[in-house]
Amino acid sequence: MANRRTRKGVLDWWQTVLDETKDLVDDSIDRLRDEVDDEDKDELSDDISELKKAVADLNAKLDRLASERK
Protein backbone atom coordinates (compact mmCIF):
# COMPACT_ATOMS: atom_id res chain seq x y z
CA MET A 1 0.00 0.00 0.00
CA ALA A 2 2.80 2.41 0.84
CA ASN A 3 4.39 1.71 -2.52
CA ARG A 4 1.27 2.97 -4.33
CA ARG A 5 1.16 6.13 -2.23
CA THR A 6 4.83 6.76 -2.85
CA ARG A 7 4.40 6.22 -6.57
CA LYS A 8 1.35 8.49 -6.62
CA GLY A 9 3.25 11.12 -4.64
CA VAL A 10 6.15 11.00 -7.08
CA LEU A 11 3.80 11.17 -10.06
CA ASP A 12 1.95 14.12 -8.55
CA TRP A 13 5.27 15.87 -7.87
CA TRP A 14 6.49 15.17 -11.40
CA GLN A 15 3.20 16.47 -12.87
CA THR A 16 3.58 19.66 -10.83
CA VAL A 17 7.16 20.12 -12.09
CA LEU A 18 6.03 19.62 -15.68
CA ASP A 19 3.11 22.03 -15.30
CA GLU A 20 5.28 24.73 -13.74
CA THR A 21 7.94 24.27 -16.42
CA LYS A 22 5.35 24.53 -19.17
CA ASP A 23 3.93 27.69 -17.60
CA LEU A 24 7.42 29.20 -17.38
CA VAL A 25 8.17 28.41 -21.02
CA ASP A 26 4.77 29.73 -22.17
CA ASP A 27 5.26 32.98 -20.25
CA SER A 28 8.75 33.39 -21.68
CA ILE A 29 7.51 32.86 -25.22
CA ASP A 30 4.67 35.35 -24.69
CA ARG A 31 7.11 37.98 -23.42
CA LEU A 32 9.40 37.46 -26.38
CA ARG A 33 6.48 37.74 -28.77
CA ASP A 34 5.34 40.96 -27.10
CA GLU A 35 8.82 42.45 -27.49
CA VAL A 36 8.96 41.46 -31.16
CA ASP A 37 5.42 42.74 -31.73
CA ASP A 38 6.38 46.13 -30.26
CA GLU A 39 9.38 46.36 -32.59
CA ASP A 40 7.24 45.31 -35.55
CA LYS A 41 4.63 47.92 -34.64
CA ASP A 42 7.28 50.64 -34.63
CA GLU A 43 8.58 49.52 -38.03
CA LEU A 44 5.06 49.19 -39.38
CA SER A 45 4.20 52.67 -38.12
CA ASP A 46 7.26 54.08 -39.91
CA ASP A 47 6.34 52.24 -43.11
CA ILE A 48 2.78 53.56 -42.94
CA SER A 49 4.02 57.12 -42.49
CA GLU A 50 6.33 56.79 -45.49
CA LEU A 51 3.53 55.30 -47.59
CA LYS A 52 1.12 58.10 -46.66
CA LYS A 53 3.73 60.69 -47.65
CA ALA A 54 4.36 58.93 -50.97
CA VAL A 55 0.62 58.79 -51.71
CA ALA A 56 0.24 62.48 -50.83
CA ASP A 57 3.15 63.37 -53.15
CA LEU A 58 1.65 61.28 -55.94
CA ASN A 59 -1.76 62.92 -55.48
CA ALA A 60 -0.15 66.36 -55.64
CA LYS A 61 1.64 65.46 -58.90
CA LEU A 62 -1.58 64.06 -60.40
CA ASP A 63 -3.49 67.20 -59.41
CA ARG A 64 -0.79 69.38 -60.98
CA LEU A 65 -0.82 67.33 -64.21
CA ALA A 66 -4.63 67.43 -64.34
CA SER A 67 -4.65 71.21 -63.94
CA GLU A 68 -2.03 71.62 -66.67
CA ARG A 69 -4.16 69.64 -69.14
CA LYS A 70 -7.15 71.92 -68.64
CA-to-CA distance for 12 and 19, rounded, in angstroms?
10
pLDDT for the residue numbered 70: 67
pTM listed for this prediction: 0.45
70: DSSP letter: -
20: DSSP letter: H
List, for residues 8-66, the tens digit of each pLDDT value.
Answer: 888 888 899 999 999 999 998 888 887 766 666 777 778 888 999 999 999 999 989 88
